[in-house]
Amino acid sequence: MKIREFFIRLAILFCGLTIAHLGVTFFLLSNLGADPFNVFIQGLRLLTAMTGINLSHGIIHMSVCFLIILILLLIDKSYIKAGTIICMFCGGPIIDFFTWLLKDFAIESSGLTVKIPVLFLGCIILSLGMTIVIRSEAGTGPNDLVAVVISEKCKFRFGLTRIITDGLFVLIGFMLGGKLGIGTIICAFLVGFIADIFMPYSERLVKFLVSRPC
């Protein structure tokens, strides 16, 4: 890959990451339940607490992400790219920025007539951003890589694979004591479905941007 193309793909990834985490921010502000991966993290935190080890949610989250990266380095290191590290460390600050930007809209204190549409909007925006990140081919966040790798290795549709992996995160997390809400269930079934719709368009967009002359 040429240097120019490498940086274009990284720029595309960062734009996709920003879009995706705007969607995550809407999801969080709707306050209708944690996303599937974080329900899983909640469950793991409770499990470790039962053994007398009290770790923060953030430490558990980071540890699981590093474990996913380690496993992939052993299985197929081609999935670990510069963008994977960017996704790991830039997601939180982007969410913090959008949370600050949207604070005056008082979404968290609104009723369900506001929260439900905001939740659906969040899932749609998240799906769009996620597919741009994936099709940038510059790397993907560790939690998203689970579905990406299974989909590509087993030749399954990404959307279906995402629904199954999100469902497993929710199921395991819930069985370990993680809390879920209506937003968790909607997210688990909606994001993968919408991602399948956006995926070919995001692929064409990336190809167009990468192939454009200087």
For residue 77, give its domain range: 3-211
For residue 138, the SS3 value is: coil
Q: Band of the pLDDT at 62, cuts 50, 70, 90? A: confident
- Closest Cα to residue 159, out of 123, 183, 209? 123
What number is the average pLDDT over the span 92-118? 88
Q: Band of the pLDDT at 129, cuts 50, 70, 90? A: very high
CA angle centred on 12, ends 129 and 212, rounded to 5°: 130
pLDDT at 31: 87
What number is the average pLDDT over the span 108-119? 89
Weakest mean pLDDT among 26-35, 116-125, 127-136? 26-35
Weakest mean pLDDT among 84-98, 125-139, 196-210? 84-98
Q: Report the alpha-carbon distance of residue 137 to residue 128 in Å, rounded.
A: 15
pLDDT at 1: 63
Q: Band of the pLDDT at 211, cuts 50, 70, 90? A: confident
In total, how many domains does the chain have? 1
pLDDT at 214: 62
Q: Band of the pLDDT at 2, cuts 50, 70, 90? A: confident
Q: Band of the pLDDT at 13, cuts 50, 70, 90? A: very high
Residues 6+ apart with CB under 8 A from 16: 129, 130, 131, 132, 133, 136, 202
Whole-model pTM?
Answer: 0.89
pLDDT at 22: 93
DSSP class of residue 164 equals H
